[in-house]
Amino acid sequence: MIKRAFDLVVASLALVALMPLVAVVAMLVKVTSRGPVLFGQIRVGRGFERFRLVKFRTMHQDSRAAEADLARGARVTGIGKMLRRWKLDELPQLFNVLRGDMSLVGSRPELPHYVEAFRAEYSEILTVRPGVTDPASIEFCYEEALLAQAADPESLYRTVILPLKLELSRDYRMRDRGPAGPRRGWLRQRSSLLTVQAGGTSWAQTVAATRRASCRGRPWSRIGSTRLRRSSVAWHRPGRTGAREHRITDPK
């Protein structure tokens, strides 16, 4: 009840304060490409209930909305690239918060077919409302660059990125329940989920290099960054039947 009241107050104040920015973004979306200003997509919320998540439209009107397609920049509009870079396309989700579909902080709502593929994990995560942002969103601010460099973005997202996001979301839920939850050391704690093979290149170095590529220009993206020793890394999920390798090239 307290968290819901906090969400309502903060979302309302944020909408009032950001209304001029929202109006400018809406106008830019409308005049730079054909189609509606807002884009709606079905996501899964608390208790596996489905709702329509709203964003500013960043793709051409005839484009598919699958997660893997979002990484293929050809369908993204010019203004859409800027909105995604600075997460301004997420502003309309404040209305989802006011409606009670989402919270300000919580695991990001996913597409139904991904939720069904990981239903056991989501049965714990979706006991509360999904959120506009969470630790996984911050750690994976470079996600689109990761997917864009992959030979099979859909497989990379389903077998590597989404499981790591779920681990972060579960850790956040455990910390939210009390001080006994696991600490923020997930790159080391979850090393069994991901094997990086690149002549000794670590997962942390891979994260740093990819973050630098996709969050270029942001001051915090350069802190602690380490260039990869090799030009590429191969990722695979061990212990899964039919696991694939995902090769990502480090941009120089």
- Reported as a single tens digit per residue, the pLDDT across 196-214 is 333 344 455 555 554 454 4
Query: What is the pTM for the complete model shown?
Result: 0.73
With cut-offs at 50, 70 and 90, classify the pLDDT of residue 63. Answer: low
CA 108, CA 138: separation in Å to the nearest integer? 11
Geometric angle at alpha carbon 218, from 96 and 185, rounded to 5°? 75
Distance separating alpha carbons of residues 176 and 81, to the nearest angstrom = 34
Assess contact for 223 and 208: CB atoms under 8 A.
no
Distance CA 156, CA 151 (A): 9
Supply the angle between the helices 78-85 and 2-32 in degrees, to the nearest 10. 160
Tell me what the mean pLDDT of segment 69-79 comes to. 69
The least confident of 37-46, 89-98, 131-140, 185-194 is: 185-194
